[in-house]
Amino acid sequence: MFQREQFRLSRLPSALRTRAGLVAAGLGVSMACGAGAALAATGGDGGADAGPARGATAVTASAASGAIAEQAAAQAGAAADAKKAEAERAAAEAKRAEAEAKKRAAKAKADQARAKAKADRIRKAHGWTGPVDRYTLSATFGRGGSMWAHQHSGQDFAVPTGTPVKAAHSGTVVKAGPNGAGDGPAYGNAIVIRHGDGTYSQYAHLSQVKVWVGQHVKADQRIAYSGNTGNSSGPHLHFEIRTTPNYGSAVNPLTFLRHMGVTV
Active site residues: 236
- Pairing verdict, β 216-217 and 236-242: unpaired
**Alpha helices for 12-49 (secondary structure H):** 14-41
Across the strands, what pairs with 206? Answer: 189, 226
CB 166 within 8 Å of CB 131: yes
CB 208 within 8 Å of CB 229: no
Across the strands, what pairs with 151? Answer: 144
How many angstroms separate the CA atoms of 118 and 162, rounded?
Answer: 21
How many angstroms separate the CA atoms of 153 and 241, rounded?
Answer: 9
Across the strands, what pairs with 215? Answer: none
Q: Measuring CA to CA, how many Å separate 259 from each of 40, 114, 120, 129? A: 126, 23, 17, 12
Query: What totals of helices (H) and strands (E) does the chain contain, helices first?
Result: 4, 10
How many angstroms separate the CA atoms of 75 and 134, rounded?
Answer: 62
Nearest CA to 169 out of 207, 208, 201 is that of 201
